[in-house]
Chain A
Amino acid sequence: MKVKITVNGMLYNKHIPNDMMLLEFLRKYGYVSVKRGCDTSNCGLCTVWVEGKPVLSCSYPAARADGLHVTTLEGVKDEAASFGRYMTAQGAEQCGYCSPGFIMAVLAMRRELTDPTEEEISNYLAGNLCRCSGYAGQTRALRAWLHDKPWEKEGQA
């Protein structure tokens, strides 16, 4: 079937297989920050935004994204890099495979929740699994990032 999907502001007018998932579509067109993990909606590695909302691209039919705007880590790279520096400072990146999905969820949470509590943060990010770090590093990085609010200085949305 034919779809028109806008990824990070670039329009893709493509024929796709009917059962193609958004994850496959994005990787096919070079958005390799989107990782394939469990492929069954459990690990959060493949998190991208559709119309600004975080979704699991492994379970989101590409056909459903027809006419919609998709954002991957490449589309928010400055803000992602800013948060990434906080992760690095806390030794939270480890193997790094879960980082793109985790960062997409964190940036979405920052837009959705104002001054989130610890419980709200845990609840929001619980579906983004990391097998290296035990989450301590990410949690420290997240606290520092939310405290510093670098996006205000950097003029990000």
Chain B
Amino acid sequence: MRENPIYGEELDLFTIKSYVFPETLEEADELLQRDARNSAILGGCCWLKLGRRISRAIDLSRLGLDQIEVKDGFLELGASVTLHQLETHPAVTSRFDGILGECVSHIVGVPFRNCATVGGSVFSRFGFSDLTCALLALDASVVLYRGGEQPLAEFMASPIAFDDILLKVRVRDDGRRAAYQSVRRSTTDFPTLAAAVSCLGGQWTVSVGARPARAVRCETAAACLNEGKGAAAAGQAAADELTYGTDLRAGADYRKKLAAVLVRRAAEQCMEENKG
């Protein structure tokens, strides 16, 4: 409980018992292993106030994980890279038709996007995340301190391992074309539904996010595009294959219809880009 000068005693939304800045990743891991369940790796802290009691907050912001690099044929996004960096960094905006910057550009405003991080979005596997949907379509992988490198699609399907640390996200710099589509009830709201596609050498990848569950790849939609059945068929396949849920933003039936439209639009956009 803390004293508020106007309202008197107020209930804290969250508490942090100890706050540490590890100097190395080894130290961060060692601190986390002591009590992984009650510790928290801090990302952008935008969703920190959800009522958690944190025994030890481990702040990675001084470990240099805020770098965007093109290395060994991969675009590498450090876990502490902010969403606004994705919008402005030329190495990101010039690749994959700029979808990594575009997909985050509707999230609240720049002050928010200067706080929210790649690591926070990806590690938490938020269903509403625009970024994970786009990264899935780009066939990205994640690099974990303990778990090593693994495909993002596998990572997204696995339960959260609270005893591991996400270091970076890697996307093969293979020149694939990509497109991203989303629908929102208002400009800065979470997406009601999101879809992303990419194409490399005639091989397509399709993902759908904000279903409202975690973003997933849609293999039947990709197969439709690979077999030349067209964008509309791919959209319908995405609507039929995946499951959709209901929340305050939309019903499952509406999301299903949106999926058909957004996947079709994204595929058509990507086809146009390929012609260009």
A residues sitting closer than 8 Å to B (CB atoms) are: 1, 17-19, 39-42, 44, 47, 53-56, 59-61, 63-64, 66, 101, 105, 108-109, 112, 122-128
Query: Which residue of A55, A63, A101 is within 8 Å of B115 (Cβ)?
Result: A55
Known: A39-B49, A59-B48, A126-B187. A18 touches B111 (CB 8 A): no
Interchain CB contact under 8 A, B61 and A64: yes
Residue of B nearest to A19 (CB): B16
Interchain CB contact under 8 A, A41 and B108: yes
Known: A127-B108, A127-B188. A56 touches B115 (CB 8 A): yes
Q: Mark B32-64, 1 if CB is under 8 A from A, else 0.
A: 000000000010111111000010010101000
Q: Which residues of A contact B18 (CB under 8 A)?
A: 18
Q: Mind listing 30 A-B residue pairs with CB under 8 Å?
A: A18-B16, A18-B17, A18-B18, A19-B12, A41-B46, A41-B47, A41-B115, A44-B112, A54-B111, A55-B111, A55-B115, A56-B111, A59-B46, A59-B115, A60-B45, A61-B16, A61-B19, A61-B45, A63-B19, A63-B59, A66-B21, A108-B110, A109-B110, A112-B110, A125-B109, A126-B108, A126-B109, A127-B108, A127-B111, A127-B188
Interchain CB contact under 8 A, A54 and B61: no
Q: Which residues of A contact B93 (CB under 8 A)?
A: none
Q: How far is the CA of A118 from the CA of B104 in the complex (A)?
A: 18
B residues sitting closer than 8 Å to A (CB atoms) are: 2, 12-19, 21, 42, 44-49, 54, 57, 59, 61, 84, 105-106, 108-112, 114-115, 187-188
Interchain CB contact under 8 A, A127 and B112: yes
Known: A19-B16, A39-B49. A54 touches B114 (CB 8 A): yes
Q: Which residues of B contact A59 (CB under 8 A)?
A: 44-46, 48-49, 115
Q: How far is the CA of A41 from the CA of B106 in the complex (A)?
A: 14
Q: Which residues of B contact A126 (CB under 8 A)?
A: 106, 108-109, 187-188
Interface on chain A toward B: helix, strand, loop, or mixed SS?
A: mixed
Give the shortest distance, in Å, between B12 (CB) and chain A (any CB): 7
Residue of B nearest to A123 (CB): B105
Report which residue of B59, B111, B188 has the largest number of chain A beta carbons within 10 angstroms of its beta carbon: B111
Q: Which residues of A contact B48 (CB under 8 A)?
A: 59
Q: How far is the CA of A63 from the CA of B47 in the complex (A)?
A: 17
Q: How far is the CA of A39 from the CA of B12 in the complex (A)?
A: 11
Q: Which residues of B contact A42 (CB under 8 A)?
A: 108, 112
Residue of A nearest to B108 (CB): A127
Q: How far is the CA of A151 from the CA of B15 in the complex (A)?
A: 43
Q: How far is the CA of A128 from the CA of B113 in the complex (A)?
A: 12
Q: Which residues of A contact B47 (CB under 8 A)?
A: 41
8 shortest interchain CB distances as A-B pairs: A127-B109, A19-B16, A127-B108, A18-B19, A54-B111, A18-B16, A41-B46, A47-B111
Q: How far is the CA of A40 from the CA of B14 in the complex (A)?
A: 12
Residue of B nearest to A104 (CB): B111
